[in-house]
Amino acid sequence: MRRARLTILVDALRHNLAVARSAADGRAVFAAVKADGYGHGLLTAARAFSAAGTDGFAVATPAEGLALREAGLTERLLVLQGAMTAQELDLALDHSLEVVFHDVAQLDVLESHATDLPEGALRAWIKVDTGMHRAGLSPEQVADARARLDSCAAIDPHVGLMTHFARADEPDLSATDAQIDVFRSVAAGWKGETSLCNSAALLGCETAGGDWVRPGIMLYGGNPFIFGEAAQYDLRPAMELKTQLIAVREVPRGGAIGYGGRFVAPETMPVGVASVGYGDGYPRHAPDGTPILVNGRRTQIVGRVSMDLVTIDLRGVEAQVGDEVECWGSGLAIDEIAQASGTISYELMCQVSGQLRAEARILGQS
């Protein structure tokens, strides 16, 4: 009998990629598959997006890029953190990975290693910090960085220019518009491709433009915005976390449930015990009232989440030991659990335990 179980819905991944392609409106798509495909499995996600016609992938590190090449994926491949060492440059070269230069130290590494590299072989992007103040060269540093790349024979002359938005998920896009303005001033007369949009900007900011977009969370069915819901954009959940009831019991009025006695039964009430907890990746911060489905019926958790168990309010719910419990998935948006727990769907997806991921059921893989 199965207990907590992760299911990946490949049809949903493909569908969401099609939504992104349509929003991209002719722009090319780097599907973001970093962090093990946002917890869905790097290769599961990448193969689904490949089948749905992505133009490329965005990963965080060269090692992730290598894993995709070794699996036989031939699309363009953007390494967001770029190369930090000569070995990583060699890896990029050997496997046609496109490296982002976001810091001057990476140019130093390139120049001290460049004589060993074949001519024009390495595709490069410059990341400009247009206001997020995380990774990226300042606008003033870009011309010098471009000159250094152009004078390096190993670098393909078509250098890309990219940036990343800090606040495209908010209803007020003034900070994003300011970033776009900075980007445009840097990109004026740029020879090479450009890329600006994450999921939120792709769906919410029609003026951002660029040759490439870089959607991530929307491809997995998460809502990229801090308002509204994913379904409004026809996005489908690609991950389901389900388990079953291992006990159904009655808690007397005044009985305190679980560690810390956080929930006190206001009346004698039926409580379900389900086999899932923070050890599986269910958020420990989920408060009383966090929604959960039992036999497809919406109810709520009561009491603190334990390592491998949660307790569920079964008032008004017909349920027995062995019945199905859905933590999130097609019947309950992961964003609801994230919001209740003070986090975002990205984190819940990435937090699913390695064991559940390794044993995930993959539905619809061709």
247 residue type, one letter = A
CA angle 193, 199, 205 (to 5 degrees): 75
Residue with tokens 């199965």: 2
Q: Can you tell me which of 19, 31, 32, 344 binds ligand PLP, judged by CB under 6 A?
A: 32
34 a catalytic residue: yes
**With respect to ligand PLP, which residue has the nearer C-beta, 223 or 290?**
223
334 binds ligand PLP (CB under 6 A): no
Q: What are phi and psi of 7, to 5 degrees?
A: -125, 135
Strand partners for 244: 324
23 binds ligand PLP (CB under 6 A): no
Residue 21 as a binder of ligand PLP (CB under 6 A): the answer is no
Among 80, 302, 338, 352, binds ligand PLP (CB under 6 A): 80
Indicate whether 67 belongs to the interface with ligand PLP (CB under 6 A). Answer: no
> What single letter denotes the amino acid at residue 288?
D
Minimum distance from CB of 215 to ligand PLP (Å)? 5
C-beta closer to ligand PLP: residue 204 or 329: 204
The whole-angstrom separation of Cα 211 and Cα 196 is 8
Is the Cβ of residue 45 or residue 248 nearer to ligand PLP in the bound state? 45
Q: Determine, following the binding rule CB under 6 A, whether residue 224 of this chain makes contact with ligand PLP.
A: yes
Question: Which two structure tokens, joined as six digits, stand for 37?
Answer: 């495909």
- CA proximity to 90, closest of 69, 117, 68, 112: 117
- Looking from the CA of 112 toward its CB, the CA atoms found within 13 Å total 10
How deeply is 362 buried, as exposed, middle or buried, from its count of CB atoms within 10 A (0-12, 13-18, 19+)? middle
Active-site annotation holds for 282: no
Establish if 217 lies at the interface with ligand PLP (CB under 6 A).
Answer: yes
Distance between CA atoms of residues 289 and 313, nearest Å: 9
Which C-beta is closer to ligand PLP: that of 265 or that of 344? 344
Helix (H, G, I), strand (E, B) or coil at 18: helix
Q: Of 40 and 113, which has the nearer Cβ to ligand PLP?
A: 40
* Binding segment (CB under 6 A) for ligand PLP, from list 208-216, 244-252, 269-277, 349-357: 208-216
* 338 lies in the site for ligand PLP, by CB under 6 A: no
Sketch the per residue contact string, 121 through 140, with ligand PLP: x for CB under 6 A, - otherwise.
--------------------
Nearest C-alpha neighbor of 335 from the set 235, 213, 195, 203: 235
Active-site residue, from 34, 220, 282, 346? 34
Instruction: Give the residues lining the site for ligand PLP (CB under 6 A).
Output: 32, 34, 80, 164, 198-199, 214-217, 224
